[in-house]
Structure 1
Amino acid sequence: MRLLRLTSDLPDVGPDPVLVAALDGWTDAGSAGTSAAERLIDQFEGTELGAFDPDALYDYRDRRPVVEIDQGLLGVPRWPELHVDVVTPPAGPTLIIVGGAEPDLRWRTVAEDLVELTEVLDIRRYVGLGSVPGPIPHTRPVQLISTSSDPDLLDRFGRPHEQVVVPASCQVALEASFRTAGLTTLGLWARLPHYVATDYPAASKALLERFSAYTGTPVDTSDLDAAIEDQREQLDEAAAASDEITEHVRGLESMYDAVVEAERLERLEPGDGRLADLTAEQVPSGEEIAAEVERFLRGRAD
């Protein structure tokens, strides 16, 4: 391994260990994926297995280290890092969790090192935890979609309806590399309101619940409920204070409900084209959604 430096001996991971990844960046909206991964490490007292050489991965002019200055006294810089932890839950498989700051450089080398690690530890499954902003209202449940090398997993955990071409994050590129290497891959992606610029605990909870359903990991998310309720109340108050925001949220609710209903009918009568029959008024095109997002954000900036 060229960049990954192991800081402890390779563990006995038991049968069917699972590689997990959650990196910050544009596919970590609301810090949902990274928060979910950190909860797994904290809840089950994970231990560090290794870390990547940060000097090889980061442009420090773009992602500068953070230094605390206390009345003129400099603290120790906190450098961006990409680390690998081992988590052994009381039930379910051992988890090898890759987390931290999305690298600026050497993505393919990172992927090669991680593929080599999967070969050494006989890891055959991968799960990614991430999140993206979308035309989703905060008044509805978090919507989850998936990417996978297995069509059955796509049907089970939520297959995106559209075909899109987007700039890849490092996490997406890693998943593609793991698929090419022969792992069974599952990327879990929470879609959360594009107008929420802070952490979104409801998305982290949704990711962990879906992760638990797949791996059998007994994750406790009950302590997130209070934060979820508080944020919902704050967003409701913000919406109520502006007719424009209220109208915007209602429009998102109509789109969300139309898609949910079409999906329900599609499950009852597979192949009847209900999803394809949705009108542009019910589910606008990507260009229309982007224009609406830009309009809304411009209005808030003003």
Structure 2
Amino acid sequence: MLNPSELYRFETDTDPQSLRASVMVVALGGFIDAGQTQRLLTEHLLATAESSVVASFDTDQLIDYRGRRPGMVFDTNRWVSYDDPCLALHRMVDGDGTPYFLLAGPEPDYQWERVVEAVRQLVVLLGVDLVVSAHGIPMAVPHTRPIGLTAHATDPRLIPEQVNPFGRVQVPGSLPSLLELRLGESGHDALGFAVHVPHYLAQSEFADGAVTALNAITAATGLNLPIDDLVAAAGLNRAEIAQEVAGSDEVAQVVAALERQYDTFIEGLQKPSLLATDVSELPSADEIGAEFEQFLREQGEQGGDSNRSS
């Protein structure tokens, strides 16, 4: 492995010992972020807290530009801007003046193990005791019920007992997941939260998911993180979703089916045995998803017919 410390550089002359903070929030995207949960959370933190860039990574070594081409702006007869990918470590300050770090940017395409070791070096050098992350995953749940999440950690003591809907599964890897694994193997504490986003909102902004993620991070770290602006945005977003659902009988039926499935599951948890709940007549998540996809196709076809007739 090439020297991990050569992947990043400090953007300040301040002694790292003077920059120390106990918490690092990691927001490196990944192969999935339903409801744009992590993006909304990261943008909110950067917009509402005092911050400065402590260190930056050499993204030119890490990004597959042809795999996800950065945006550029062409104006009349010349190029005027380039959306330069930036992976940086920000030093943030919470509402009580307590510092913490935010590692944010695109998930590297290359050199995962070297990046992980570089982050581990920063964790040690900057006195970080806990690394935490959050993102959204699509689930067959309705937006009208409490938002759930699945917590995972390097040590069970870091998270409360919970009903895990997954059991043991194999999934595509991501750098944040590998980072959590490697930190645990080297004796560091790390945990993450997978927020359950309604699958029919997976490609949209779902601000309630970001609120749930922020509350989970606050509870786990004890940081006083601003939330009012995000809560306000979630309220507007919730009203927009309700309006769209009310305007379509097909969508309303899908949401109602998910509500019945959710309520039956919760009822079963409150009974002595899950066998006491009969879910045989409820549609499966795949059936509900197929029904919703069919509705979207029909909407697209109707829109095309309307355009042709006009």
TM-score bracket, normalised by the shorter chain, equals 0.7 to 0.9
SS of equivalent residue, structure 1 residue 61: coil
How many Å apart are 1:159 and its aligned residue?
A: 5.0
Equivalent position of 2:170 in the other structure = 165
- TM-score, length-normalised on structure 2? 0.84
Equivalent position of 2:285 in the other structure = 289
CA distance in 2: counterparts of 1:6 and 1:259, whole angstroms: 50
CA distance in 2: counterparts of 1:261 and 1:282, whole angstroms: 15
Aligned residues, how many? 290
SS of equivalent residue, structure 1 residue 195: helix
The amino acid across from 2:6 in the alignment is: R
What do residues 155-174 of structure 1 show as CA deviations (whole Å, max 9, x unaligned)?
A: 25x45232222112222122
SS of equivalent residue, structure 1 residue 46: strand
What do residues 219-252 of structure 1 show as CA deviations (whole Å, max 9, x unaligned)?
A: 2222233332222222222223333211211111
- After superposition, residues 254-265 of structure 1 pair within 5 angstroms as 254-263=260-269, 265=270
- TM-score, length-normalised on structure 1? 0.86
Equivalent position of 1:269 in the other structure = none
Unpaired segments ≥5 residues, structure 1: 267-271
How many Å apart are 1:45 and its aligned residue?
A: 1.2
- After superposition, residues 28-67 of structure 1 pair within 5 angstroms as 28-67=33-72
Instruction: Identify if the C-alpha distance between structure 1 residues 161 and 242 changes in structure 2 by more than 3 Å, giving closer, same or farther.
Output: same
CA distance in 1: counterparts of 2:281 and 2:114, whole angstroms: 44
The amino acid across from 1:300 in the alignment is: L
What do residues 68-87 of structure 1 show as CA deviations (whole Å, max 9, x unaligned)?
A: 12223311211222211111
Is residue 2:195 matched to residue 1:190? yes
SS of equivalent residue, structure 2 residue 123: helix
Equivalent position of 2:232 in the other structure = 226
Cα root mean square deviation, aligned:
2.4
SS of equivalent residue, structure 2 residue 72: coil
Partner of residue 245 from structure 2, selected from 239, 243, 247: 239
Rg (Cα) greater in structure: 2
**Greater shift in the superposed pair: 185-194 or 67-76:** 67-76
Partner of residue 81 from structure 1, selected from 48, 65, 86: 86
Unpaired segments ≥5 residues, structure 2: 299-310
How many Å apart are 1:11 and its aligned residue?
A: 5.3
**Greater shift in the superposed pair: 89-98 or 100-109:** 89-98
Instruction: Identify if the C-alpha distance between structure 1 residues 41 and 228 changes in structure 2 by more than 3 Å, giving closer, same or farther.
Output: closer
Aligned sequence identity (%):
28
CA distance in 2: counterparts of 1:151 and 1:74, whole angstroms: 52
Instruction: Identify if the C-alpha distance between structure 1 residues 26 and 194 changes in structure 2 by more than 3 Å, giving closer, same or farther.
Output: farther
